[in-house]
Amino acid sequence: MHEKYNLFMKLYLFFCLVSFSAGICAQNFIVTGKVTSNGESVIGATVQVKGKINGAITDVDGNYRLALDNSKETLVFSFIGYQSKEVAVNGKSVINVELEEDVAQLEEVVVVGYGTMRKKDLTGAITRISTENATQSVTSVTEMLRGTVAGFSAGFGTSAKGGGSMLIRGEKSINASNSPLIVLDGVIFNGDLVDINPSDIETIDILKDGSSAAVYGSRAASGVVVISTKQGNEGKPVINFDMKIGMQNLTRNQRPFNGQEYMIMRRDEKIRSNPSRPLGYFHNPDNLPQGVDLNTWLSYTGASSDSNLAEIWMNRLAFSTTEIDNYLAGRETDWYDASFQNALRQDYNVSISGKNDRVSYYWSLGSINNQGIVVGDKYKTIRSRLNLKVNVTDWLQVGLQAHYATRNESVDEVDWAEAIQASPWGSKYEEDGSLKFYPNDDNMSTNPFASYEQRDRFNVTQTFNATLSAKVTLPLGFVYEMNYSDYNDWQKNHYFDSSTSMAGEKYKGHAVRRNNSAHSWMLDNILRWNHTFNKIHKFDLTLLFNLEKNQTWSDKAENSNLTPSEVLGWHAVANGTNPVVGSDDTVDTGNAMMARLNYNLMDRYLFTASFRRDGYSAFGSNNPYANFPAFAFGWRMNEENFMKTVSWIDNLKLRLSWGINGNRSIGRYAALANLDSEKYLHNGSTVIGIYATRLPNENLKWEKTEAYNVGFDFAFLGNRLNGTIEAYYMSTKDLLLTRSLPDIIGFSGVTTNLGEVRNKGFELSLNSVNIEHKNFKWSSSFIASLNRNEIAHLYGEMVDVLDKDGNVIGQREDDDIQNGWYIGHALDEIYDYKILGVWQENEREEAAKYGKEPGDFKIWDVNNDGEYLPEDDKVFQGYKRPRFSFGIGNTMEFFKCVDFSFFIRSDLGHKSSNSHYSHPTDYYYDRVNAYKYDYWTPENPTNEFARLGSNTKSPSFNVYKNRSYVRLQEVSLAYRIPNKITSKWSVSNARVYVNISNPLLITGWDFWDPESLSPAPRTFTFGINFSL
């Protein structure tokens, strides 16, 4: 290994020496010396003349030789992983330097839940993300995290609002939530992530293993995302401005057939569905098939030669009067282009922060005004945050962390899916200028602009979250902290469809008012004790007692046939003849106790043990409480004496952890009987009766995940290369499932604990500093992960296993075919009929045996019995979630003022259904448009696409295609304006930047974006950031 290291360093030295060779021609004073650290030679250290470009690199023995212009220069000695040192020459010809290790990286403090730890003392799987110098145009936390953490996945939010789901280390539950717990500034956050301004975030810590997450017990089975917002820094008040302006456009266009192509499709569908019609009957008279002349074509309907041929043809194709008139007039509507747009994005933020010996403060205000790529998709939000800490005395600190957000989503977007089906010869408006409800006159395809243009909507959400804290420093190393958090959410969602609108016409006007609100509070009482004995025994004890309560209120009022006038719309919902009201209130409570002890022996052996006991009101009266223990061990092997001589290893740590966490993400009343109401006649009067639909379960208990993790942290070559390797195994038992019951019992189902899901995976994270010179630095990152899960058990019902002769040869646990859950298989495994191709004309007789005809998909008859049965012919043929993911990032710094970076990410090995290959039975190809996909005809006998209106119902199946992709996710270029230029205006840290999100995608998937499965944007952003 030492020989490989020396070879690497020799190549590195050669590159660096060539870089410095241009500046040594005119130098006449020679300085030599040796660079060491802890008595060991430092290979490849940079010796730079301060303020100049000439310098030298230490050789394999740590020696250097440098020519100077004079003997009055100052030398700067530096190397990655060490603190730089400046030494004045002052005529000395020999200068030896001892560099000290820069332990800043290992001394970095990481949030671990109800406290912090030095990074080097961690025993769990925790990954930190810093938001420094971020240039993306994002509206939520999930967009910041996409692809940046091994084992973590975030959905691709393609709307103006952005956002998306999050998943840590795969799916662990079948029915309960798999979303991670969110902790904001030390307190569990119950709100929407879009209310947290990314510009306010300092760091994000992802807690992935069972031990790290166990301190949150009841809600941590799917991992924890810990968000820390910015605080005030020492010094004078700093005002920071940040502005981002961007433009989005649509990628991967999926157009429908245009006007001429649509007519050909209609022709082909008519030929297919009307085989008795003579040859050429549905053909364009200007393009008749061989053997059919115009007179013959006219004779089919007894038309004369002076008739309007185009009108005759379109009538045969069953076009409407509107479509015929528009075709004859040459008026084609491009619904697709009308539904999508180039979208403007605006993001403005200002903050004021500062800190002195008594007060630390940070205040921010941010505004976003985004359009989406779909016309009508708009999102506006204003977000403000205040972080305040006051040292009242030397033993008492009080704090306030508060944020307010308002979201405006008051516009309905164009129904782009409906636009795909609209006839290009249909009309958007009537002749009088009013919106045309059915552009094709077919009472099927509705106008995609109906809600966008006709609905009056008011949809505004306001949230306010505040945490009051007090920290008391007690004798003997004890610290008591109290946090009270109060969260409030108010939503008003009102809309009105007038009597002249498409949605309100049949109601003679329809008004709806929905008011939703939520309130939750949480109280944390925390006692910490930290003490060191004999300089080698370090103890860190945390005790917690927690209380919480969550409530929601929902009210709805709607009415129609508003009288005497509908001009007030939803403002006068009471003035109608058909009132409907409804309400729904919920409440749940919880409490918890937790103890955690961290023990550090000689900064070498690290132990963590924790125990948490949780109670939650949603579980059965017999099992409201559950216990969640955890244990972890860390060994810093590089601190052992036998490793001291290995100079190229800077950090090597083994971590082992085990923990149990819970999942309580079920309905608040899942353990109780569910009641419903029904109207019926009794003695000639209408009365309302109440009946139970769900059986109660007093024994309903917690779903628990037991997790094992082994990890290695390493840093080599002066921290030039560092990273983490993780392997994990998890087992989730007592799954929270709703079990269907026989009708004879009188209940539809019961929520119960059944089954087991197992989950395992591997993660790799690497970071490297490839080159570091005065005017150029290049660093890289690489992450990779894979995850596998399987259903180990379900309901425990056993079925016989038969041999080919029908004899019982054993038993196995039964599958749940209806839900697609199979014992021994993954939750996301695809189990369906396999497509072998398309039946061709020469296979008509064979196809008929299966109820098929040429142009239908050929399904594999596994046992060749002449029929398709799920239990016999469905096979496993792929997975819905990625089997392997990776990300590659590169950042380059030029002349200490220009930054260039790009990030590539990939998800591989998964599939999804694409019905547009099958042209399914229930699609009306003779009346509506479709995506521009090929299709089978006798003249176009493709083996990949089915015929129009193909038989997809007997049996029902899907066509699956590979969704693997490699995406260039971000490209960014930033320029930091030198302070000597900006200081004259009292401006500092000025930076301008441009960023492109989603500029390139490589995939075999041929529909919308393979990640989002919907229209996805490419975003161009220009930004300015500076401080006063």
More confident residue, 689 or 467: 467
Q: Is the pLDDT of residue 763 over 90?
A: yes
Indicate the burial class of 540 (C-beta count within 10 angstroms; 0-12, 13-18, 19 or more).
buried
Domain count, the chain: 1
User: Residue 73's pLDDT is what?
Assistant: 86
| Rounded Cα–Cα distance for residues 202 and 182 (Å) | 15
pLDDT at 643 over 90: no
Question: Omega into 955 within 30° of 0, i.e. cis?
Answer: yes
Residue 803 lies in a domain: no
The string of DSSP letters for 629-671 reads: EEEEEEEEGGGSGGGTT-TTEEEEEEEEEEEEEEE--S-TTTT
Backbone phi and psi for residue 172, each to the nearest 5 degrees, phi listed first? -120, -15
Q: pLDDT for 79-91, tens place per residue?
A: 766 778 889 898 8
pTM (2 decimals)?
0.85
> Over 90: is that where the pLDDT of 959 sits?
yes
Please, are residues 466 and 520 in contact by the beta-carbon 8 Å criterion? no
Q: Distance between CA 213 and CA 193 in Å, rounded? A: 20
Residue recorded with tokens 């995506």: 931
The distance of Cα 204 from the centroid of its chain, to the nearest Å, equals 15
Residue 314 lies inside a defined structural domain of this protein: no
Report the candidate in 955, 946, 940 with the shortest Cα–Cα distance to residue 860: 955
Residue 38 forms part of a structural domain: yes
Do the Cβ atoms of 191 and 227 come closer than 8 Å? Answer: no
CA separation for the pair 91, 73 (Å, rounded): 9
**Among 390-399, 637-646, 931-940, the least confident range:** 637-646
Angle at 642 between CA 639 and CA 644, to 5 degrees: 55
At 187-201, the pLDDT tens digits run 999 889 999 999 999
What per-residue confidence (pLDDT) applies to 485? 96
Q: Which residue has the tokens 């819970």?
A: 662
Does residue 864 register a pLDDT over 80? yes
Torsion-angle region of residue 810: left (phi > 0), alpha (psi -120 to 50) or beta?
left
Residue 136 lies in a domain: no
Residue whose C-alpha is closest to residue 813's, from 828, 789, 796, 827? 796
Q: What domain range includes position 92?
A: 2-102
Q: How confident is the model over 690-714, as pLDDT tens digits?
A: 777 778 889 999 999 999 999 999 9
Residue 13 has pLDDT above 50, yes or no: no
Say which residue, 465 or 984, is predicted with more confidence. 465
Cβ proximity of 398 and 470 under 8 Å: yes
Cα separation, 811 vs 803, whole angstroms: 11
In 317-400, alpha helices (H): 321-329, 335-339
Residue type, 107: E
| Inter-helix orientation angle 321-329/309-316, to 10° | 140
CB 1018 within 8 A of CB 971: no
SS3 of 905-969: the string is EEEECCEEECHHHCCCCCCCCCCCCCECCCCEECCECCCCCCECCCCCECCECCCEEECCEEEEE
pLDDT at 666: 83
Q: Pick the closest to residue 232 from 62, 106, 355, 348 (CA basis).
A: 355
Give the pLDDT confidence score for residue 9 in this predicted structure. Answer: 44
Q: Is the pLDDT of residue 679 over 50?
A: yes
Residue 418 covered by a domain: no
The arithmetic mean of pLDDT across residues 936-955, rounded, is: 92
Size (the chain), residues: 1028
Task: Answer yes or no: is pLDDT of 4 > 50.
Answer: no
Q: Is the per-residue pLDDT at 72 higher than 90?
A: no
Q: Is 564 exposed, middle or buried (0-12, 13-18, 19+ CB in 10 A)?
A: exposed
Q: Is position 742 within any domain? A: no
* Cβ within 8 Å of residue 471, ≥6 positions away: 396, 397, 398, 399, 479, 480, 481
Instruction: Tell me how far apart the alpha carbons of residues 219 and 663 are, in angstroms, rounded to a whole number.
Output: 5
For residue 76, what is the domain's CATH number?
Answer: 2.60.40.1120
Q: What angle do CA 1021, 1023, 1028 make, to 5 degrees?
A: 165
**pLDDT of the residue at 924:** 75
pLDDT averaged over every residue in the chain:
89
Res. 665 pLDDT band, cuts 50 70 90: confident
Q: State how far the Cα of 128 lies from the Cα of 222, in Å rounded to an integer.
A: 17
**Residue 89 domain-assigned (yes or no):** yes
For the CA atoms of 442, 443, 444, 447, what is the dihedral angle to 10 degrees?
A: 100
Give 773-826 pLDDT, tens digit per residue.
Answer: 888 999 999 999 999 999 999 888 888 888 877 888 888 888 888 788 899 999
The whole-angstrom separation of Cα 361 and Cα 354 is 6
Helix/strand/coil (H/E/C) assignment for every residue in 129-174: EECCCCCCCCCCHHHHHCCCCCCEEECCCCCCCCCCCEEECCCCCC
Question: Per-residue pLDDT for 27 more than 50?
Answer: no
- How far is the C-alpha of 637 from the C-alpha of 999, rounded, in Å? 44
Q: How confident is the model at residue 7 (pLDDT cuts 50, 70, 90)?
A: very low
Residue 135 pLDDT level (bands cut at 50, 70, 90): low
Question: 3-class DSSP state for residue 1011?
Answer: coil
In a domain? residue 23:
yes
pLDDT of residue 53: 63
3-state secondary structure of 96: coil
Among 53-57, 283-287, 306-310, 784-788, whose mean pLDDT is lowest?
53-57
pLDDT at residue 1, rounded to an integer = 40
Q: Report the b/e string of 983-1021 with b at 16+ CB within 10 A.
A: eeeeeeebbebebbbbbebebebebbbbbebebbbbbbb
pLDDT value at position 84?
A: 81
Q: Where are the alpha helices (DSSP H) in 552-654?
A: none
When pLDDT is averaged across residues 43-65 and rounded to a whole number, the result is 80
In the predicted structure, residue 385 carries a pLDDT above the cut 70:
yes
